Amino acid sequence: MQELFTRIDFLIVPTLPVLTPRVDAPSVVVGGVERDFTLALVRYTALFDHTGNPVVSLPVTVLSPGIGTSVQIVGPYHRDADVVALAARLERMLDLSIDFSIRT
């Protein structure tokens, strides 16, 4: 990861490999293959847990209540404030009105 950040400032990648699944789903289908729920959902985020790079996950679309997409903004070591600043800037640019209330 350190080598990557000698060539780029930030990395923007999907947070999840699929649309937001129901929280009670036992599994998730990724690329036509049924996967364990937890393992499927951490496959794009776990790398940064291990590398220690600063990351912000940012919702980018809302398709319907509770269903949306998001991206991770990843930065080099010790650039936490810059990652958060970029996320805030993108959030303003996207101008999403997201309702975070829980529907039953």
| pLDDT for 6 beyond 70 | yes
Cα dihedral 66/20/52/49 (nearest 10): 120
pLDDT per residue over 23-67, tens digit each? 888 899 998 999 998 888 898 999 998 999 999 999 888 787 778
| Closest by Cα among 22, 15, 56, 58 to 37 | 22
Into how many domains does the chain fold? 1
Q: Is the pLDDT of residue 101 over 70?
A: no
13 found inside a domain: yes
Residue 11 has pLDDT above 60, yes or no: yes
Q: Are 67 and 61 in contact (CB under 8 A)?
A: no
Cβ atoms 70, 62 nearer than 8 A: no
Residue 103 inside a domain? The answer is: no
Whether the predicted pLDDT of 15 surpasses 80: yes
Q: Determine, yes or no, domain membership for 101.
A: no
The answer as to whether 99 is a domain residue is no
The answer as to whether 100 is a domain residue is no
Note whether residue 87 is domain-resident: yes
Distance CA 102, CA 78 (A): 35
C-alpha distances in Å from residue 51, one per residue of 2, 16, 61, 72, 74: 9, 18, 27, 14, 11
**How far apart (Å, rounded) are the C-alpha atoms in residues 6 and 2?**
7
The closest of 35, 103, 45 to 71, measured between CA atoms, is: 45
Question: Which pTM does this prediction carry?
Answer: 0.81
Whether 48 is in a domain gets the answer: yes
Its domain, for residue 62, covers 4-94
Q: What is the pLDDT of residues 86-99, one digit of tens each?
A: 999 988 888 766 55
